[in-house]
Amino acid sequence: MTAGSTALVEFLLARIEEDERIAWLVASESPTADTGFCVWATQFAFDPERMIVAIDYQRVLAECAAKRRIIDAFRAAKPSTPTAETLETVLRQLASAHADQPDYRNDWRI
């Protein structure tokens, strides 16, 4: 992995951890296991600038796990192969959802 791709992976893992923290907090506060139950998570001070509503915390956790598997596949891919290049493009696309985040780097744009 290059220094740029290492930073990209670290950036994505930090965003995943934020989402997981909020989803687990919502899960612990939820009065029901019904995945359709809506809970406003903005009352929790993880990031006061970011309003997050957890509609389905189980789906959020599943998405976090899927993103981790994509990152693992990227890490396992041999550098400079078509597979590694494709997976890096996927990681850049995932990161683009967080382009407004201060740690986002413009060189990750596709």
pLDDT in tens, the chain (110 residues): 787 899 999 999 999 999 898 888 777 766 566 555 555 554 545 554 444 555 677 888 999 999 999 999 999 999 999 999 999 999 999 999 999 999 999 999 98
Helices (H) and strands (E) in the chain, counts: 3, 2
d(CA 14, CA 93): 16
* pTM reported for the whole predicted model: 0.79
Q: Which phi and psi (to 5°) does residue 109 adopt?
A: -60, 145
Give, for 54, the enclosing helix (H) or strand (E). strand 53-54
3-state secondary structure of 41: coil
